[in-house]
Each structure stands twice: as C-alpha cells, then as structure tokens.
Amino acid sequence: MAHDDGVISLDVWQVDGCAAFGAREQTCRWKCGSQCAHEAPNEGAVENDTFRDVVERFISRRGLLRGAAAVGVGLVVSRELSGGAASARAAQGGGSTLTFQSIPLDTTDRITVAPGYTSKVLLRWGDPLFMDSPPFNPFTQSAEAQSRQFGYNCDFVGFYPNPAGSDGKARALLVVNHEYTNPEIMFFGYDAKSPTRVQVDVELAAHGIAVVEIERRDREWFVLAGAPLNRRLTAESEMLLTGPAAGADWLKTSADATGTIVRGMLNNCSAGKTPWGTVLTCEENFNQYFANRGQLPDSDPRKAVHTRYGLPAEASERKWENFHDRFDISKEPNEPFRFGWVVEIDPYDPSSIPRKRTALGRFKHEATATVVGPDGRVGVYMGDDERFDFIYKFVSNGQADLVNRAANRDLLDSGTLYVAKFNDDGSGAWLPLIQGQGPLTAANGFANQADVLIKTRLAGTQMGATRMDRPEDIDYNPVNGKVYIALTNNTQRTDAQVDAPNPRANNRNGHIIELTDANSDPTATAFAWEIFMLCGDPAKDADVYFAGYPKELVSAISSPDNLVVDKSGNLWIFTDGQIGSGTLRMNDSVHVVPTAGPERGRLMTFLNGVPGGEVASGDLSDDDEALFVSIQHPGEGGTLEKPVSRWPDNSSLPRPSVVVAWKTAEGSKVIGS
C-alpha cells in the first residue's frame, strides 16, 4: 500500500550505471566526487590481504572444494565455522517471528509495503522545523531558510524516546543525517560548471543533521514543528575537535589557530546510537568537497596523505572553492584534516556543542555500533566505505555509566583504536593502532598518536589490515552476541585476484559477514568470522548464498548498505544500488532476514523505494511497532526540467523524505509480524 500513485517505467528512468560499483552516474558525482571512477586510494599500496584472498586460502587449505561451484565459497565457510547451517538451525529451534508476506521488487514511482501495512511521508526536504521557519519555496531558496528547514538527502534515521529513558510509545525524537546534495534536482537551471554563490550556500545549509520531535496518535506518528528539542546543524555550525589529535598542527588553519574549532560537518552518511542516548554521526565522503591537491609541492607530506584519502588534484565537482577558500587545498591545506571524523551529538540538549571524537580515527566513516562489554568498557565498531579499505574498532579506557548520562561526556576521547585482520582459518585479530608499536614509528611518518589518528588509513595499511569490499554499516545483535558487517560491493576486483572457488572478481552485489568477538566481548582482541550472505538474484546468479537457506525460497538483493536488528534478532537490510547492480535493475528496498532458528537466511522484502532513490537507512521504534525509513535522492538521473520521479508529492520536484510504516492488519502490531 502507498499514499501516492503513479508508475514510471524502467526504460524511462534507468541511466547508465557507474562502472566501478553499479551506482548511478549522479550518485558517483555528488556522493563521493566520482571517486569510483578513479583508482582506489588503497590500490598500489602495501599488498595487504584482500578478504577474497583470505577466503580462497581458507577453503583451499582444507581441500574442501567440490568442483567449480561458486556457491561453495559461502557454503563451506559458514558450515566450517558454525558446524553447518542445518545443525545450527536445529540447535536453535523455534520458528521465525517474520510472518508477513514478502513482496516482489518493483520499479514504480511510489513506496510499496507488505500487505497488511501502510506508510506515509513524515518529513520532506524543506519542511519547516521551527516556529519562524519560512515555508518551502523551491524558486526562492536561501541558506538562511534552509538552515531552519529539514535538510536534503536524509540518510541515518535514529529513534530516541522522549524524554530520555521513557518507553517512547507516545513521544520521541527522530535524528536524521543530511548526507549530501544533488543540485541538479534542487535548483531550476542549475549549471554544474558555474554554480551561483546562493546555490552553494544553500547546499552548505542543506548538509548536516536534524533533530525533530514526533508524537504518536492512534498508532500514527506526526511531526511537532516548533517543538523545543527541534534542531538543525549544518556545514557551517560550530563544532569541537576533542581527543588525542585535538590541537595538532595539521588541524590548525588560518581561521582556527587552536586546531580545536571546526565549521560544520560534511557528508554525514549513517551513524549509531550510544547506550547513553547520544548519536555518533559519521563523516564519510568528505574528500569530494575540496579542490587543488595538485598545487601542493610533492615535498609537502600532506599531499601524500590527501592522495590516500582521495582528495581531488584539480577543481572539485561542486566548485565550492570558488566562493569559500577553506575548500581550496592550495589556500588551506589543513582544512581537510578537520573532516572524516565521528561526531557525537546529544539530541536531548539543543544547546550542546557537537564534538568530533578524534580517538575513533579519521577515514570515510559509514556508521558506528556501540556495545557495552562485561567490564563496562565500550567497543565501537566502524567501517571505512572505500574499495579495499578496512574495518575498525575502538575500545574505551573508561567505563560507561548508564545511569548518569553526563558522566559519559568524555568517554570516547580515551581508548585504543584497532584495525581488523582476517585470518585463513576463520579467526581474526584486532590490531592496535598505537604510535610506537610495530611499524607505527616516527621513521614511518607517525611521530605521535595524533599522526596515527589523522592518518588512520596509512596506519591500517602499515599494520597489514585486510582490504575489504567497501565496509559500510556494522550492527550488533544482542540476541546472539554477533556483529553483522555490510560489504556493499566492489567491482574493481579483477579476474587475476580470484578463481573458481572465489568467483566474484566483479562483485556487483556485495555480501554480509557475521563476526563474533571472543566470548562475545566487544573489548576482545580476537574474533571469529563467517560469511552470512552472498547477495544477488537467486534466479540468475549461481554464487548467491543465504546462510544455508534454500536460495529458491528467498528474495533477490543487491548492495546491502545499512543494517538494523530488531528485538527478536532479525536483521533488517537497507540497500543502495539495486538499480545499478547489473542483475536486479530494481528500486532499492528494505529486506529482513532471521539470524537464527529454522529460517536463518530466509530473506524477505518488506518495502520498496522509488526511481533514482536510495533506501538509505532506517530504525524501529522502541516497541518495534513502527519502521522509519529514509529515501535519499529520489529522481536521481533527471533534472527538475526533466524529472524521472515525481515522488513524494506527484510534482516535478522530487524531495528526499523520511517515511514511516506500521501495521494495519489484525493481530500483533510488531513490524514483520
């Protein structure tokens, strides 16, 4: 069911996908500055193991290959480590809590959900958030107006009970990231070669984050415009750098001689909720906003670091440097070092200053998952969303206080950052990134811990971390104590890197890893891993694998991006790239799969997005009776003059939006029932 109508056929809105990872051309341009069209920053570096290298050797060592059947990769790894999918299901017992009717993928210009459910648009780009917010007018946009309205390209969605500690059944906060902008479908007559100052400043204001109060009435959720906790942070809002790298010379600029005060945050993709009720929002593809790396002399050590992080050698795609010197590396070579961090924000305190936690490292953060260990210390899992880059974990020195929220204010400023090494035998190790240990010495460019954190990618390479297929969201499952890692895709792997038992040289569909820290302790330094899912179309792809469940009984899926675990331990998966996967050619979707029991691996589709739009992220209410989903860049591939989507208002102006879905049928109201 849906509240809007209209169908746009596939041949009208499908555009050529980016050859690198199957995304649409405009996604590549505006999300990461067409980074996928260039050599991966970690290609040609130290030849660390790829994850596929590990899988190949792991299987070969045991003589477990049975011919050239590609499905053997996932199947053998899973059974070798877990004792077999069938035996695991038998040991768990019980049936799945997912009883809804799975729906087919589609290409329609409306949100579709499973039978017995309904959905509505809750927040649109430009919606007023405050009493003094002007109404949205696409013809008279301004930075001042946008800073008081819901921003663009919503990604992370986090549900926070209001007040803190309540059951959240009646009132809550939604925290929503505004990752990036698509100016060609924001402004009429946009000229990519020569944007105006007004357009650039509106884009700056459209980035950031929104905190919005919502209220439930008769099972339906509503936005409370003008509510006291509503807040907007943008790419111009003041923020603090904290932790070991704060005040380092490379963080100082002409505008900030202290190296501790930053203007704004950029490209906040996903995020994570802490047990003490803050949000850890993640700066991802910050590289695309900067320009003119090539004008630095080769003798400047900053140039090599900027190269490793993919900053453009010449003009940026967005041309923000035409109006703001801080985006011109030739004028402000240190400004990029002030981005690429995890930013902690207290949604319950509109006056609080966001803090960029440097102890968690600097890279293209996708999301975080924070887990309290048996001794009270916390582990924070993170992925670097780049081809051939790494998975990380931070372990705090101090213990979390879940009674006194304020006591955790500086918890994430002190601890140890680790990078993951996957071993052939299904084991793994978290390698500490500590200056002075191993190769992280002054002779190798790491004079202090600040250097390690500012140059985290280089430190991970030196330590021999395993190169992965674009690690995106990571989520912890408290029901089984395991960690799930979405590896979206990586088409840059060549035939020379793989063979029959490791068939995905052109990994368009991605996969999901199930990782278990020793004793399920997030502070442990050893782990075990297995492949949980090899994504694709079961009807076309021979190499798909769904935790051992019969592939003919599951939905197709490509490009897993964000993850959420419900109270029953089911894994909800939000996709980014099904339209460009090369196998599906369908709208992005929300899927869900049991992680235990007889139906472990049975993937089902719950919700479908719209043409050009990414189903970017989502969250469940604390009672699991509402699912909030962000729809990013609907209509990408067109312009306002020639739209390819008219969602959500059936107009020529597609608007990124957050939708909410709930059950209308009789019986349990839990999402998925």
Per DSSP bridges, beta strands 604-608 and 261-263 are: unpaired
- Token pair 């990994």 is found at 507
Q: How confident is the model at residue 28 (pLDDT cuts 50, 70, 90)?
A: low
Q: Is the confidence at residue 86, as pLDDT, over 70?
A: no
In the three-class reduction of DSSP (H, G, I as helix; E, B as strand; rest coil), residue 151 is classed as coil
Strand partners, 416: 395
Assigned token pair, 37:
């069209």
Q: Is the confidence at residue 129, as pLDDT, over 80?
A: yes
pLDDT in tens, 151-205: 999 999 999 999 999 999 999 999 999 999 999 999 998 999 999 999 999 999 9
Q: Is the dihedral of CA 324, 355, 284, 646 positive or negative?
A: negative
Q: How confident is the model at residue 60 (pLDDT cuts 50, 70, 90)?
A: low
Q: How confident is the model at residue 642 (pLDDT cuts 50, 70, 90)?
A: confident
- State mean pLDDT over 266-280: 98
pLDDT at 29: 76
Burial class (CB in 10 A: 0-12, 13-18, 19+), 286: buried
d(CA 283, CA 367): 9
pLDDT in tens, 207-218: 999 999 999 999
Residues 6+ apart with CB under 8 A from 624: 566, 567, 670, 671, 672
In the three-class reduction of DSSP (H, G, I as helix; E, B as strand; rest coil), residue 130 is classed as coil
- List the alpha helices (DSSP H) in 399-540: 449-454, 456-463
Q: Is the confidence at residue 19, as pLDDT, over 50?
A: no
Cα 665 to Cα 102, 267, 599, 618, 620: the distances in Å are 15, 39, 23, 22, 18
209-218, 499-508, 534-543: least confidently modelled range: 499-508
pLDDT at 93: 45
- State mean pLDDT over 86-93: 36
Stated as kind and residue range, the H or E segment containing 27 is helix 25-32
- Token pair 């801080």 is found at 326
Q: How confident is the model at residue 664 (pLDDT cuts 50, 70, 90)?
A: very high
Residues 6+ apart with CB under 8 A from 32: 284, 285, 287, 288, 310
- CB–CB of 604/98 below 8 Å? yes
- CB–CB of 47/465 below 8 Å? no
* Contacts of range 60-67, beta carbons closer than 8 Å, 24 or more positions apart: 60/501, 61/424, 61/425, 65/500, 65/501
Q: Which residue has the higher pLDDT, 34 or 245?
A: 245
pLDDT at 504: 61
pLDDT in tens, 344-367: 999 999 999 999 999 999 999 999
- State mean pLDDT over 635-658: 92
Output Rg (C-alpha) for the chain, integer angstroms. 23
pLDDT at 501: 25
Assigned token pair, 84:
């077999």
- State mean pLDDT over 637-650: 91
- Token pair 């045991």 is found at 62
Q: How confident is the model at residue 17 (pLDDT cuts 50, 70, 90)?
A: very low
Give me the percent of the chain exceeding a pLDDT of 90. Answer: 77
Which of these, 282, 224, 122, 274, lies nearest to 648 by C-alpha position?
122
Residue 414's CB is within 10 A of a number of other CB atoms, namely: 12
d(CA 16, CA 353): 42
- State mean pLDDT over 396-408: 97
How is 135-147 classified by DSSP, letter by letter?
Answer: PP-TTS--HHHHT
Give me the percent of the chain exceeding a pLDDT of 70. Answer: 85
- CB–CB of 661/118 below 8 Å? yes
Cα 531 to Cα 41, 75, 79, 229, 254: the distances in Å are 26, 8, 10, 42, 48
pLDDT at 15: 27
Does this model's pTM top 0.75? yes
Q: How confident is the model at residue 71 (pLDDT cuts 50, 70, 90)?
A: very low
* Contacts of range 535-538, beta carbons closer than 8 Å, 24 or more positions apart: 535/509, 535/510, 535/511, 535/559, 535/560, 536/509, 536/581, 536/583, 537/509, 537/583, 537/584
pLDDT at 596: 96
pLDDT at 65: 29
User: Is the link from the previous residue into 163 a cis peptide, with omega within 30 of 0?
Assistant: yes
- State mean pLDDT over 91-107: 82
In the three-class reduction of DSSP (H, G, I as helix; E, B as strand; rest coil), residue 429 is classed as strand
Q: How confident is the model at residue 244 (pLDDT cuts 50, 70, 90)?
A: very high
In the three-class reduction of DSSP (H, G, I as helix; E, B as strand; rest coil), residue 67 is classed as coil
pLDDT in tens, 444-472: 999 999 999 999 999 999 999 998 989 99
In the three-class reduction of DSSP (H, G, I as helix; E, B as strand; rest coil), residue 289 is classed as helix
Cα 372 to Cα 75, 355, 479, 523: the distances in Å are 32, 21, 14, 9
Q: Is the confidence at residue 398, as pLDDT, over 50?
A: yes
Assigned token pair, 550:
């019969």
Q: How confident is the model at residue 36 (pLDDT cuts 50, 70, 90)?
A: low
Q: How confident is the model at residue 507 (pLDDT cuts 50, 70, 90)?
A: confident
Q: Is the confidence at residue 670, as pLDDT, over 60?
A: yes
pLDDT in tens, 321-338: 999 999 999 999 999 999
Per DSSP bridges, beta strands 365-372 and 377-384 are: antiparallel
- State mean pLDDT over 418-438: 94
- List the alpha helices (DSSP H) in 14-165: 25-32, 51-61, 72-82, 85-92, 143-146
DSSP-derived letter for residue 517 is E
Task: Name the amino acid, one letter, at 260.
Answer: T
- CB–CB of 270/382 below 8 Å? no
Assigned token pair, 477:
């499952």
Cα 291 to Cα 99, 190, 582: the distances in Å are 51, 20, 32
Residues 6+ apart with CB under 8 A from 635: 185, 610, 611, 612, 613, 643, 644, 645, 646, 647, 654
pLDDT in tens, 146-166: 999 999 999 999 999 999 999
pLDDT at 67: 28
- State mean pLDDT over 125-137: 97
| Residue-range domains of the chain with CATH | 10-284+340-368+378-663 (2.120.10.30)
Cα 127 to Cα 138, 177, 651, 655: the distances in Å are 11, 15, 16, 10
d(CA 298, CA 301): 7
DSSP-derived letter for residue 18 is P
In the three-class reduction of DSSP (H, G, I as helix; E, B as strand; rest coil), residue 91 is classed as helix
The edge-to-edge listing of strands for the beta sheet with 614-620 is 117-124, 657-663, 627-632, 614-620
Q: Is the confidence at residue 373, as pLDDT, over 50?
A: yes
